[in-house]
Structure formats: C-alpha cells, structure tokens
Structure 1
Amino acid sequence: MRVCFISGVISRSGGTERVGTIIANHLANRGYDIRILSFWDRGKPYFQVFDNIKVDFLLDPKTEGKLYRTNIYPIVKLHNYLKRNQIDIVIDIDTALSYYTARAITNTKCKLVSWEHFNYWAMKLLNESKRYKAKELIKKKASALVVLTDDDRDEHIKQYDLPNSFVKTIHNPCMFENTSNYCFSNKTFLALGRLTQQKGFSMLLESWALVEKQLPDWNLIIAGSGELEESLLTQKNNLGLTQVSFPGHIKDVERLYRNASAYVLSSVYEGFPMVILEAQSYALPVIAYDCKTGPKDLVLDNVNGFLVANGDTEKLAQAMIEFAHDEERANNMSIEALKSLDRFNIEIIIDQWEALFKEILAN
C-alpha cells in the first residue's frame, strides 16, 4: 500500500509536522510504502524522517509562488504527482490542504484522509475562509476525517451533518521516554509555549498574582518566546510579581521539567496538547484549563492533576494553592501521570491507523 502524507511546509518545527512525521515513520516500519510531500519547498524536514521514506516537494516558492495563486496550478500538479506515483491513500496533515487535495484526487484511484490537528472551535475562532471551504470539500470527496478528540468528533458530525462512520478519533501518540524522578520540594510551577494569545499566559499571570500572596516560597516559570513577550513582562511588573520568571526559548526543556513540581496549561484553545503528554512523561501532575480540546482527554481531575473551568483565573489560582498544600496527594498524582500515558502508546495508535486504511480500501 502506497501512502502519501502531505504537509504544508515539512521544514516547520510545529506539533503538526512532528506528529505527522512520527506516524509516517512507524507506518514505514510496518512495511508501508510511505512518501512525505511538502506543499512548499522551504528546506529539509525539521524532524527525523526514516531512510525508507521518500520526501518530495510540490512547489518552489521562488518560481511558482505566483502560479499558486491561480489555484488550478497546484491542483493539477498535485493530481499528476498522485497519479504518477500510484498513491493509494493520501493524508493531509492539515485540513486546509484538502482544499487542493480533494480536487486533485479526481480521476485517480487515490483515497483522501483529512487530518484535523486543531478543532472545530479553533477553526471558527480563526475564521479562515479557505478552511471552511476545505471542510465542505472533505465532506464530499474524502473517505475519512480524522480528529484528535471525541469532543471534536461530535462537533464535526453535528455542524457538518457527517455520518458517524466518516469521522474517526485517533489520539496523538506519546513518544516521550518516561522518568519517575519526581520532586515536589522543587516548589516550581512550569508553563511552556509560544508567548501568544492562544496560550493564555496573561490569564496565568492574573492567577499567579493570587497565588504568590499565599505561596511566597513557590515559583512560576513561563518559558518561550513570541510577540507578547514585552506586554507580559509589563503585566508582570504592573502586578508587582517577584516569583515569576521568563527565561525565553529554552532548548534544554528536560532540565525545566525535572526541576518542576507541576505543569500548568492556561491555553484559550488547543487541538491535542502534546505538552501535557511530555509533562506527564516526566511524572508531573498537570493543572489545566478545560479548554477546547484535549485537556480533559489527558487530565483526570483530582487523579493525575486538576482540570479547571476554562478561563476561570480564580479557580486556576485555587488549584495551584491547593496542590502546593498537599505533598502526599501531589506524589500520588505524579504516579498517576505516568500511568495515564499507557493508552497513548505508539503501537496502539498505529494499529488504529492501519484499521482505518483497511476499512477505507474495503469500501
């Protein structure tokens, strides 16, 4: 079976490219003929691609950038690529790409799987017209839509009037090595991510203003870089916070995880937050907003962490304070954090992808 994964730009370092590459690599290890096609040629893959996978590029931005705007040019070129390479199943790792792929598979034997890495609510919030059009084409032309959570599956079925069998939930796998060297006494809450509106770090600082008054010996680290760095630093100073630091972009995130007591996720929205899986692989309890989507699939309230009403800064502060006052419960949560990773084992996830392929080709 020949399977082609299509990425917008495979040289990006985002979670979509990371997970897409992981699934492609492990399918190749199971004997599938795998190709990765990057819509734009902006450099080599950021993440490791196994040697038995061929990486191709569809468009050169320097010479074909204007032709891309005609819409028909990339569709014809993609159609010829799929036909020439006799692709059986093509997987768009970004549903926006299906705007082109759904048309390009016409008069080929190729089946389309569109893979949503965000969620319906994020799509609505971002209000991207091309993504809406792509979803309508997916409904008509694709063989399956893969989403990351059951919440998102239910919403897509409802909003697009899709058959239950058409929308599949396949979680992202956990590829992080587990470690149980947990130390509550570090007295540090950790948050990682781009300093953007999506990550909700402004709300986290509001919560921390309440926490710092009651936990003067605890610290908060917000690691990352981005366009809101200056405004967040200004907010920190205006709130008079002394126990919060912004170390910027850190390559050695392992050191941060090992020195943390808990991970805090304050995002406005997510798709399937891999950072929670990574934190849990370091045995960290997670305190997270119940945003759309993902946290409630990963965090069991009062078991491996705390799940807090989305956007409620007071409740988030209360959860951190409550956590810091109960070391025994924190240690139990740490044990449960590691246990909760079992259902995201890569072999289980690849089994689900294989089952989807067989179902598609059988139909």
Structure 2
Amino acid sequence: MQVTFVIHAVTSGGAERVMSILANAWAAKGWSITLLTFDDGSAPPFYPINPQVKHIPLGVLGSSSNLLAATRHNIKRIRTLRSAIRASQPDIIVSFLDTTNVLTLLATQQLGIPVIVNEQIHPAMWSIGRIWEWLRQWSYPNASQVVAVTERALSYFSPQVQARGCVIPNPALAVESSEQPLTPYLAKPSLIAMGRLDGQKGFDLLLAAFAQLKDRHPEWTLTILGEGALRAELESLREQLELSDRVHFLGVVNNPNDFLKQADIFVMSSRFEGFPNALCEAMACGLAVISADCPSGPSEIIRHGVDGLLVPTENVSALAGAMERLMSDTEERNRLASHAPEVTERFSLEKIIEMWENLLAKVIQKRTNQYVTKVSLSQG
C-alpha cells in the first residue's frame, strides 16, 4: 500500500499527532508512506516520524498581505502539491485540516487518485473565512471520504458531504508507568490544564474559576502547559486575579505525561473542541478530569460521574463548583481516576487503526470497481 499524507506542518497540534501515529504505524507494517508538508523543513517535526516515512517539505508555507497575493500563493501551493503528489505515486491520499484539505482536493483534480480528508475540530465553531468556507463546501463533495471525529462535527456538512462521511475518533494511547522516580515538576496538590493559549481553550474561564477557590483552597496550584498568542493577556489576567504565585504557565513541553502523572485534577475549559487529545492523555495518565461539555468530543470521551465530570460550556460558576467538589474530596477524585484509564480501551490504537484501514480498503475497492466498470463499458 502506498499512502501519501498531506498536512501543513508537523507542529504540536492534535491533528499532527494523529497523522504521525497513522504514518508511523503503517510504515512499521512495511507500507510505502510519503508525508508532504507545506513548511520548509527547517524545524524538525514536533512528533517523532518513523525513518521509513519519506518526509518531503514543500516550502510553500507562509502568509500573504492581500487577497491578490494570497491567490497567487495558493495557486503556487496547488501546483507544487500536485507535482509532489504525482511523484509520490500513491494508491490513496489522506489530508488533514480544513484549508489543507481544500488545497489537496484542488491539486488532485483529474488525477484519479482517491482522497480522504480529515476534520479535527467542530467546523461550525471554527471560522476559516468566507472564501475558504465556500471552497470547502464546493470541494468536499469531490473527496472519496470525509472523516470527522464525532457525529456532531460531521452533521455540520451538507447531506451531499455527509453521504460520503464517516466518524473515526482519535486514539487514546496507553501510558506506560515509569519505574524510575519522576523529577518533581509540580507542587502538590495541583490542578493542570493543557492546550494552545487562545480563545478556543477558555483559559480565561479557568483562571476566573480558580480565583473563586483560591482562598478556600490556599494549598492548591494550577499549571497550564502550552503556548499561544494570548499568553501575555492571560498572564496579565493572572496578576489581576492575584494568582501570580498560584498559576504557572510553562509553555510547550516535550514530556507532558510526566506532568500529568504528578497532577491531581485535569481541567479542560474549552469553548469548543473536536476530539481533544489532551483530555484523553490526562485520563490515560489516571487523572480525575473535569471538562466543559463543549461541541464536540468531551461528552463522547467522558462518562459523566464514572471517569470524569462534565459542566456547561462557558459557565465559570459550574466549573468552579466541579473543581471544588474534587479538590475537597480525595475519595471522589480517586474513584474517578481509577476508571479514567479505561479510555485507552474504548479508543485504543488498535481499534482506531482498524477503522482507518477498513476505510482505506473500502475507498480503494470502490475505485477499483469504478475502473473495471469504465473499462467494461469502453470495450462494450
């Protein structure tokens, strides 16, 4: 099997993580895997890539100052991508993330190669701009398959797109227990959160909720892993809420599981998600978790009251209430934490890989049947 992946770059996001997992797994099986990225390759991939994967940076990533420049830039991207795809001679193409999916579908017109596009977030909650949205609605019906991470995410699209859509959640990887004593990263007891420092992740809501509890629970700290455009704004809010010695922004770390293992409670305050990998990672590490019941993902992952707690989205009081409930009750924390790692069974890598491989086989078989039918008609 020859599979070509397309993604903007292998940075620290969830889509990049899923893509690297699939590419590595299939390369380990002896498949011929090509990875096309839009960056120039100057920065190494954030996630490890199997040496057997042929990674080709195309050097077409960048921003444009106006619409005309953007149009020229994207035409160049399409041409460069089309040439690279043809050179990779794939049986099938798998593309990740909205605008990259559009460019991939435009680049593969008339090539006769099946294309699967993957959406990693709830499209209704994430604007890609009016022109890109029009192009997405126009191009997605040309995809062989549109993969969403939840039913709610897939329901955003037109009936025509949904007819060629399916749901494949992201894998929740089991976490190996360390036999060696871990470096003490966190002061105990500790809350922890993880994600990009942007509006989507709702860290402003988390800080406001924690501020309501700071006097009743003076021994607790909050650690936030991740980087983003709102860091300065969030640090300023931390000072305004008088949390400077209680909330720690540590940026992006390469060993998040070591931090998660040492925390007591994981909190996700997102305004919207797709299928949040950070939440799965926290549960795999055996943490009691609290999450906003945002669209989409948390309610598919957390079994409320069994392995975590769900609270209404953007409700600071409810978030603070759930946090205090677990901060005040060690027994309840431990009960939820004991069931949390079961997420790695429900969304195991083996199950998710099987779903993807079944999809690839289905798409390729459909293409083969269409080719045979076309040949039969031409000979008839």
Is the CA contact (8 Å cut-off) linking 2:304 and 2:310 kept in structure 1?
Answer: yes
Alignment of 1:214-363 (within 5 A): 214-241=216-243, 244-249=246-251, 251=253, 252-363=255-366
What residue number does 1:41 align with? 40
Is the CA contact (8 Å cut-off) linking 1:68 and 1:74 kept in structure 2?
Answer: no
Question: 1:15-65, CA deviations, whole angstroms, 9 ceiling, x for partnerless residues?
Answer: 222211111111222332211111232434332221222112334569xx9
Matched, 1:162 2:165: no
Question: 1:141-179, CA deviations, whole angstroms, 9 ceiling, x for partnerless residues?
Answer: 1111111112112232xxx22354411111111235144
What residue number does 1:195 align with? 197
Is the CA contact (8 Å cut-off) linking 2:213 and 2:320 kept in structure 1?
Answer: yes
In the TM superposition, residue 67 of structure 1 has moved relative to its aligned partner by 9.7
Task: Please give the alpha-carbon distance, in whole angstroms, between the structure 2 residues aligned to 1:222 and 1:87.
Answer: 41
Is the CA contact (8 Å cut-off) linking 1:18 and 1:47 kept in structure 2?
Answer: yes
From the superposition, tell whether residues 77 and 230 of structure 1 become closer, same or farther in structure 2 (CA, over 3 Å).
closer
Is the CA contact (8 Å cut-off) linking 1:299 and 1:305 kept in structure 2?
Answer: yes
Task: Please give the alpha-carbon distance, in whole angstroms, between the structure 2 residues aligned to 1:59 and 1:237.
Answer: 41
Is the CA contact (8 Å cut-off) linking 1:88 and 1:111 kept in structure 2?
Answer: yes
Task: Please give the alpha-carbon distance, in whole angstroms, between the structure 1 residues aligned to 2:61 and 2:204.
Answer: 36
What residue number does 2:58 align with? 58
Task: Please give the alpha-carbon distance, in whole angstroms, between the structure 2 residues aligned to 1:288 and 1:67.
Answer: 38
TM-score, normalised with respect to structure 2:
0.84
Equivalent in 78, 87, 92 of residue 90 of structure 2: 87
From the superposition, tell whether residues 108 and 333 of structure 1 become closer, same or farther in structure 2 (CA, over 3 Å).
same
Provide the secondary structure at the position in 1 that maps to 2:38.
strand
Is the CA contact (8 Å cut-off) linking 1:281 and 1:341 kept in structure 2?
Answer: yes
Question: 1:330-357, CA deviations, whole angstroms, 9 ceiling, x for partnerless residues?
Answer: 1111111011221221111111111111
Contiguous gaps of at least 5 residues in structure 2: 180-186, 367-380
From the superposition, tell whether residues 4 and 179 of structure 1 become closer, same or farther in structure 2 (CA, over 3 Å).
same
Task: Please give the alpha-carbon distance, in whole angstroms, between the structure 2 residues aligned to 1:161 and 1:114.
Answer: 16
In the TM superposition, residue 96 of structure 1 has moved relative to its aligned partner by 1.0
Is the CA contact (8 Å cut-off) linking 2:39 and 2:58 kept in structure 1?
Answer: yes
From the superposition, tell whether residues 89 and 233 of structure 1 become closer, same or farther in structure 2 (CA, over 3 Å).
same
Task: Please give the alpha-carbon distance, in whole angstroms, between the structure 1 residues aligned to 2:40 and 2:178.
Answer: 41
Provide the secondary structure at the position in 2 that maps to 1:341.
helix
From the superposition, tell whether residues 311 and 86 of structure 1 become closer, same or farther in structure 2 (CA, over 3 Å).
same
From the superposition, tell whether residues 138 and 114 of structure 1 become closer, same or farther in structure 2 (CA, over 3 Å).
farther
Task: Please give the alpha-carbon distance, in whole angstroms, between the structure 1 residues aligned to 2:363 and 2:26.
Answer: 16
Task: Please give the alpha-carbon distance, in whole angstroms, between the structure 2 residues aligned to 1:51 and 1:118.
Answer: 29
Is the CA contact (8 Å cut-off) linking 1:289 and 1:311 kept in structure 2?
Answer: yes
Provide the secondary structure at the position in 2 that maps to 1:340.
helix
What residue number does 2:173 align with? 175
In the TM superposition, residue 130 of structure 1 has moved relative to its aligned partner by 4.5
1:35 maps to a residue whose letter is: T
Is the CA contact (8 Å cut-off) linking 1:82 and 1:110 kept in structure 2?
Answer: no
In the TM superposition, residue 263 of structure 1 has moved relative to its aligned partner by 0.2
Task: Please give the alpha-carbon distance, in whole angstroms, between the structure 1 residues aligned to 2:311 and 2:70.
Answer: 48
Provide the secondary structure at the position in 1 that maps to 2:352.
helix
Task: Please give the alpha-carbon distance, in whole angstroms, between the structure 2 residues aligned to 1:87 and 1:232.
Answer: 45
In the TM superposition, residue 111 of structure 1 has moved relative to its aligned partner by 0.5
Number of residue pairs the alignment of both structures matches: 352
Task: Please give the alpha-carbon distance, in whole angstroms, between the structure 2 residues aligned to 1:358 and 1:225.
Answer: 38
2:208 maps to a residue whose letter is: E
Is the CA contact (8 Å cut-off) linking 1:98 and 1:134 kept in structure 2?
Answer: no
Deviant stretches of 4+, over 6 Å: 65-68
Provide the secondary structure at the position in 2 that maps to 1:264.
strand
TM-score, normalised with respect to structure 1:
0.88
Is the CA contact (8 Å cut-off) linking 1:99 and 1:133 kept in structure 2?
Answer: no
2:35 maps to a residue whose letter is: I
Task: Please give the alpha-carbon distance, in whole angstroms, between the structure 1 residues aligned to 2:128 and 2:96.
Answer: 19
In the TM superposition, residue 244 of structure 1 has moved relative to its aligned partner by 2.3
